[in-house]
Amino acid sequence: MQLTAKELKAYYKEIVSMVEEQKDYLCELDRKIGDGDHGVTMSIGWQAVNEKLDNELVDEEDCAKVSITVGKTFLSAVGSSVGPLYATGFMRGAKAVKGKTVLEDKDLAEFWIAFARGIKERGQAEVGDKTMVDTLDPFANELETKFTESGEFLSAFTDAVAAAKVGMESTKELVSKRGRSSRLGDRSVGAQDPGATSAYMILATFLNFVQAKTEQAI
Ligand SMILES: [Mg+2]
């Protein structure tokens, strides 16, 4: 498959809408184990991205430049917590597709693997710490394995998103080891991690986007 810069920007717009729809749910999850602001934080970041998409990015044809602006904008709007994590993710993704106006299967696989691994590296969390890494690490591993086998992005990404979902759901049973929620210790068990949840939603939104695009083409 091919993804143009215009389509990539349309996908980022889909995240903006998805975050607005899920804002309350993400805050509700965060109230159980954190300070209850995750949905609001994500909304602030993506609204800032939306403003760039509507203005300075309108004519941008370079997929890497689009993603760099998304990362930098999210970071300056959000600052701490998830700000540096998503910024690193999108900027590492951008580095993997440097100078490209159209992304092919291999570019897309490399973009998403770099995105997920970049966040893991930046956050220094491991699987089992009850963070977004519980979603992103199995996702990246599955994507790499399946894409290496088939060379086909959509099927590999579909399997990777399924692995991400299992990872996200696994956070319900985990004791938080990172950030504010780690102070709760065993009391954090039973609540799904909000960061793991929004990370899954960002991946699932891309899957829906490329599936819809593929169906339109048939
Ligand atoms: Mg919070």
In this structure, what CATH number is given to the domain that contains residue 19? 1.25.40.340
Q: What is the Å distance from ligand 1's center to 38 Cα?
A: 5
Give the residue-averaged pLDDT of 184-188. 83
pLDDT beyond 90 at 2 = yes
pLDDT at 181: 80
The total number of structural domains in the chain stands at: 1
**Mean pLDDT estimate for the chain:** 95
pLDDT at 174: 92
Q: What is the Å distance from ligand 1's center to 79 Cα?
A: 13
Are 169 and 192 contacting, i.e. CB atoms less than 8 angstroms apart? Answer: yes
What are 58-88's pLDDT values in tens digits? Answer: 999 999 999 999 999 999 999 878 999 999 9
For every residue of the chain, which 3-state class applies, written as one string? CCEEHHHHHHHHHHHHHHHHHHHHHHHHHHHHHCCCCHHHHHHHHHHHHHHHHHCCCCCCCCHHHHHHHHHHHHHHHHCCCHHHHHHHHHHHHHHHCCCCCEECHHHHHHHHHHHHHHHHHHHCCCCCCCCCHHHHHHHHHHHHHHHHHHCCHHHHHHHHHHHHHHHHHHHHHCCCCCCHHHHHHHHHCCCCCHHHHHHHHHHHHHHHHHHHHHHHHC
Give the residue-averaged pLDDT of 47-51. 98
Neighbours of ion ligand 1 (CB under 5 A): 30, 34-35, 37-38
What are 104-140's pLDDT values in tens digits? Answer: 999 999 999 999 999 999 999 999 999 999 999 999 9
Structural domain range at position 7: 3-217
pLDDT beyond 80 at 218 = no
184 band by pLDDT with thresholds 50, 70 and 90: confident
